[in-house]
Amino acid sequence: MMDRFLFVLGSNWQLSLAELDNYLKNSQNKGRIIDYSATIAIVEFENLHKDKQYVNKLMELQFILGGCQKIAKIYDFIDIQTIHDAFPLNINTYQHVVKVREKILNILENILVGKNLIFPKAYESMFYAVSIYPNLYDDDYYTDILVKHFLLFLNTEIMEIIKRKGSTKVLYYKYPDKNIKSGNLNPIFPHIVIKYELLNENRAEIIFGFTEEGVYIARTFTVDDPNFKKQIDEERPLKEFKSSISPKLATIMLNFLNLFDSREKKRILDPFVGNGTILLFALLHDFQIYGSDNDIEKVENTARNLNWLLELLEEEIPPLFNKRIARCDIKNLSENYEHNFFDGIITEPELGPYYLEKPYYSQVKELIKTNLQPLYDDFIREAYQILKPKGRICFISPIINTIDGGEVQINIEKLASKNNFKQVFLLDTNRLVRKSNKKLQFARNQIKTMIDAKKGQIIIRKLYVFEKA
Ligand SMILES: C[S@@+](CC[C@H](N)C(=O)[O-])C[C@H]1O[C@@H](n2cnc3c(N)ncnc32)[C@H](O)[C@@H]1O
């Protein structure tokens, strides 16, 4: 149990899980997801945990992954039956409950204070926040039992134990009463972990992460820094207010290019650069970035945004940097760049007009036939030319919701295979454990694409990855 880590997944948990598994399969830090739920993944590394500097490695990993909120080290595990016995939906015999709770208390007693434990020693003043990550947020067991009873139990008992070990001043994070009463509770967000300094030795976030198998008890070691990403996304000089790609999705897409080593030497291109969201995050992750767009205004916007970010990062502007963002129509891409030049291509092409209401089926069919399909066709053909062999393209294509004909989309697979691209699966679920809850299962073994959508969106983003055969 000592060498396992708990990863808190982003809100799109399937995509976060796929990103993490792809990393564990293809980067230098090999490992396996040995258990998961809709909120967490449990990871066993082949070697990383043996590294003396493993905390630094985890921080790097945290920075690289777009769909990971926190990484915590696991100290123990309690199987689900024990939890259900100690905190049943209906209490029959109180004696039995008390007995099983004793067992849980014993486990807590053994992992809280001491060398190589959650707190290395009893400090005079200590602080902790308990975060419960449920199997699924809409589980009744979470809202009725875990939030209302288990949390209270943990907060009081952990306090007792720590005091017994010698600390005189112990405080814990109090969630708002109204959330506890309603059962509608989110574990603390990364910025709270930072604000309360819960990575300090005498302070901690203690995570109780549930799967169908049981609860993993872990201490948070690193968290995502959402403020910095938000700053890049929102404070850059030029941005569009209509829904543009999120920093998280851009970062996840970068990782599906499978370029994990020597990123500073890897050339990547966004040929529909817009205001440059993808390139801003690619620059943050050290890639050699190139971009183009057929709209000169967008080209200028991106160049300005990138210069702004370099300044913010206090990095020098590389020579000829602005030349790397150029005006180019997608049709002529391969005339503007050497063949086999790029290590990866990552982009969000035109997704269709910004609909305020759902369009008609025939309208969308026409749009796809006359605009989008030819555009994607041009893109895929041209991308093939300038990509290195075995290089990957990772891009978004739209699913458009219509009033009268359901979802309509472009047949991307056909365009890609026509152009000699081989599809890369986003997730091979054979690498995961089986789950009995339908909501945690995947439709098939090989997941070819995934979507990134908010409720009620008319245009939904669908993610594809292909490799130059
Ligand atoms: C959905 S936007 C990309 C948004 C970008 N991801 C961002 O965050 O700002 C698509 C871009 O494709 C560009 N575009 C449309 N047709 C094009 C074409 N034929 N050749 C090159 N660029 C094109 C548009 O000017 C627009 O900037």
The pLDDT score that the predictor gives to residue 241 is: 67
The pLDDT score that the predictor gives to residue 230 is: 86
| Residue nearest atom 1 in ligand 1 by C-alpha distance | 350
Partners of residue 398 on adjacent β-strands: 461
Distance CA 367, CA 208 (A): 49
| CB-ligand 1 contact for 280 (6 Å cutoff) | no
Q: Letter for the amino acid at 409?
A: Q
| Residue nearest atom 4 in ligand 1 by C-alpha distance | 274
What token pair was written down for 281?
Answer: 């995050």
The pLDDT score that the predictor gives to residue 454 is: 87
- Condensed to tens digits (0 to 9), the pLDDT of residues 55-82 reads 999 999 999 999 999 999 999 999 999 9
The pLDDT score that the predictor gives to residue 92 is: 75
Cα(348) to ligand 1 centroid in Å equals 7
Atom of ligand 1 nearest to the CA of 378: 19
The pLDDT score that the predictor gives to residue 320 is: 85
| CB-ligand 1 contact for 274 (6 Å cutoff) | yes
| CB-ligand 1 contact for 83 (6 Å cutoff) | no
Out of 272, 334, 381, give the residue to mutate to test ligand 1, the one with the largest number of ligand atoms within 8 Å of its CB: 272
Distance CA 356, CA 458 (A): 8
Question: Mean pLDDT for each consecutive 10-residue tract of the chain (469 residues)?
Answer: 87 97 96 98 94 92 97 98 94 86 97 96 97 95 95 97 96 96 93 96 98 98 90 88 86 98 96 97 97 97 96 89 94 97 98 95 98 98 98 98 96 97 96 95 92 92 97
Domains of the chain: 4-224 (3.30.2130.30), 227-468 (3.40.50.150)
| Residue nearest atom 6 in ligand 1 by C-alpha distance | 348
Cα(329) to ligand 1 centroid in Å equals 10
Q: How many residues does the chain have?
A: 469
| CB-ligand 1 contact for 277 (6 Å cutoff) | yes
Atom of ligand 1 nearest to the CA of 351: 1
Cα(356) to ligand 1 centroid in Å equals 20
Cα 263 to Cα 180, 289, 340, 413, 424, distances in angstroms: 45, 10, 17, 29, 21
Burial of 91 (0-12, 13-18, 19+ CB in 10 A): exposed
The per-residue DSSP string of 76-106 comes to EEEEHHHHHHHS-SS-S-HHHHHHHHHHHHH
Are 449 and 426 within 8 A, CB to CB? yes
The pLDDT score that the predictor gives to residue 382 is: 98
Helix (H, G, I), strand (E, B) or coil at 125: strand
Distance CA 30, CA 28 (A): 6
Residue showing tokens 């010698």: 166
Cα(194) to ligand 1 centroid in Å equals 37
Cα(294) to ligand 1 centroid in Å equals 7
